[in-house]
Amino acid sequence: MSLSNTAITTNTTLVIFCKRPKLNQGKQRLVNDSSAESALCIAKALLECALEDARNWLGPVVLACSEHTDLAWAKSLNINAKILAQLPANQNGNLGVRLNYVDKTLRALGHKELIFIGTDAPMLTTAHYQASIKALQSSKIALSHADDGGVVIMANSVPWPALERLPWSTDTLSFGLLKVCTEHLLSVTYIQPGYDIDFITDLRRLVADLKSDNRPARQALIQTINDLSLFTKVPTYA
């Protein structure tokens, strides 16, 4: 069994922020170089990669849905996870507001160490998660910097400071998150960096990076990319 396919046994909670894949919702920057239908196929395959990690997580798992109307859908995904919404019904807020709300909700339920991920970074491996868990032994916050200036992992052993005013969806998010944490005297450790999937060029890089990854959902994602012919030539791996 390869490292990337190893189950993780831990008391740390894996929290997956997700949107239900729908046509013309999610991964819309991919549409510029493909189609809405192709973007939907990719979004579904990316979600399966995150769910694969959840099923290999031998500890608490939380699936946080962007919409209350998708709670029933989330419960149908067949993962052993607590399902909740990112905000109370009929309330709105940016990602920072949602992270603060979910963080507060889970801590009230007794969760202490949390690892937050999205569904658009299938390059994440067991090594990233283990590094996050280890970092929380000596730091209050662990982050994995993304190539576009964001983050692909946010882990914390204490409540997040107020995150609403951070520059979400910009190339200064990682720096802004570090700044607000240090301003609140929270120690921060950066683990190995990563990247998320926004553009066709990200998919090209991903196919190369996953060539030796034997996790079924990752291989299915590669097959989906091949089937969609999103760029001139996608290597096919046995």
pLDDT tens-digit series, residues 107-122: 999 999 999 999 999 9
Residue position matching structure tokens 């994440």: 124
Q: Say which DSSP state 189 is in.
A: E
Dihedral sign for Cα atoms in the order 182, 17, 7, 157 = positive
- Please state, rounded to an integer, the average pLDDT across all residues of the chain: 92
**What's the pLDDT at 45?**
97
Confidence of residue 5 (pLDDT cuts 50, 70, 90): low
Domain locations in the chain as residue ranges = 10-228
**How many C-beta atoms lie closer than 10 Å to residue 158's C-beta?**
17
On the question of pLDDT at 47 being above 80, the answer is: yes
Q: What is the DSSP string of 118-184?
A: -SS-TT--HHHHHHHHHHTTT-SEEEEEBTTSSEEEEEESSPPPP-TTS-TTSTTHHHHHHHHHHHT
Nearest residue to 25 (alpha-carbon basis) of 96, 119, 123: 119
Say whether pLDDT at 237 is over 80. Answer: no
Question: Do 4 and 126 contact (CB within 8 A), yes or no?
Answer: yes
Do 150 and 47 touch, CB atoms closer than 8 A? no
pLDDT, tens only, 57-78: 999 999 999 999 999 999 999 8
How far is the C-alpha of 195 from the C-alpha of 121, rounded, in Å? Answer: 6
* 102 has a pLDDT exceeding 50: yes
Residue with tokens 């200064």: 172
Distance CA 191, CA 137 (A): 13
- The per-residue pLDDT for range 223-232, each reduced to its tens digit, is 999 999 876 5
Q: Does 81 score more than 70 pLDDT?
A: yes
Q: What is the pLDDT of residues 20-45, one digit of tens each?
A: 999 987 677 787 777 889 999 999 99
- CA atoms of 13 and 116, how far apart (whole Å): 9
Topology, domain 10-228: Spore Coat Polysaccharide Biosynthesis Protein SpsA; Chain A (3.90.550)
Share of the chain above pLDDT 70, in %: 94
For residues 128 and 107, is the Cβ–Cβ distance under 8 A? Answer: no
Which range has the worst mean pLDDT, 15-19, 112-116, 167-171, 228-232? 228-232
